[in-house]
Amino acid sequence: MTTLGPLTELAVAPAMPRRARLRGRTTRRVLRVLGWVLLAVPLLVAVVGPVLAPSTAPGGVPLQQPGPGHLLGTDVLGRDLLGLVLVGGTTVVSLTLASLVLAYAVAVPIGLLVAARGRILEGLTIGLLDVLLALPSLLVLMVLAATGRNGIGWLVLAVALVQVPYVVRLVRGAAAAPSCLATLEAMTMGGEPWWRVRIVETGRRVLPPVLVDATTRVSGVVGLLSAANFLGVGLDPAVVDWAVVVDQNMTALFLRPSAVLLPAGLLVALCAGTNLLVDDLLERRA
């Protein structure tokens, strides 16, 4: 069993006229390039930026216009905007990755196991996760903040924890989808051991929706990180991070728009780029 199921352009292509298909290919190419560009810019900035960045020490004249000393001007704290943009990607990229990896590393095995093994385990696990899900995440964040646990580790843990119940449910749902079940039943009848069918093969089959889910979650996680800052429960304000910079400069949106729009644009590019590329990748794999 090597094919990944019928998620192919070919399978539906006959429904489309040739011209539309051609146009589709062009758009696809354009969007693929766009996706690469959108993703590459923030990633490149996040990786290389810190090496090139000028100092981001606060204390200069706030909200300066771009000039020789500060190529992009300064933000509300009198920090060099170029420096902020170059430095601020590392945290957000690594935080997002860490939270997602943690969430999926925990949730996917649970989801598969739950879908595979009896109803009691399933009921119990889902019930327990629903409790977790029903605990207001806001309260969790506020308690963490109020007790001084707003370090990076806690934030990653909290953000990952919030994702787990949803991912488990998604994996379970995808594993139980009809297109999946039919082939698996055939395999089971063919005498394959349950774990091979239920974990390995099902795992491969739920991969596309999980991947899609993960990429949409990139923006969700980034959004959660920036919302946490908006609510005053996020990262330490001294951490230079795009989301934090956006939050700190929001009040000066109309005075120095670039201090908000540049880091916010990079965040949006990061999320949008990931999503576009994964869409493309899924189609190509098919």
Give the CA radius of gyration of the chain. 23
Give 78 or 109: the residue with its C-beta nearer to other proteins: 78
* DSSP H helices in the chain: 9-12, 18-52, 81-87, 89-116, 119-134, 137-146, 152-175, 178-189, 194-195, 202-230, 242-249, 257-285
| Pattern 189-218, other proteins, x by CB under 8 A | -------------------xx--xx--x--
Candidate list 66, 109, 203, 223; residue touching other proteins; CB under 8 A: 223
Q: Which stretch binds other proteins (CB under 8 A): 40-48, 87-95, 99-107, 263-271?
A: 263-271
Instruction: State the nearest-atom distance from the C-beta of 234 to other proteins, in Å.
Output: 10
Q: Pick from 234, 220, 222: which is nearest to 141 by CA?
A: 234
3-state SS class at 183: helix
CB of 68 to other proteins, least distance (A): 20
Could you say which of 68, 127, 153, 190 contacts other proteins (CB under 8 A)?
A: 127
Taking CB under 8 A as the criterion, which residues in 42-81 touch other proteins? Answer: 57-63, 76-78
The reply to whether 260 sits near other proteins by the rule CB under 8 A is yes
Q: Is the Cα dihedral 128, 131, 132, 133 positive or negative? A: positive
Interaction of residue 106 with other proteins, rule CB under 8 A: no
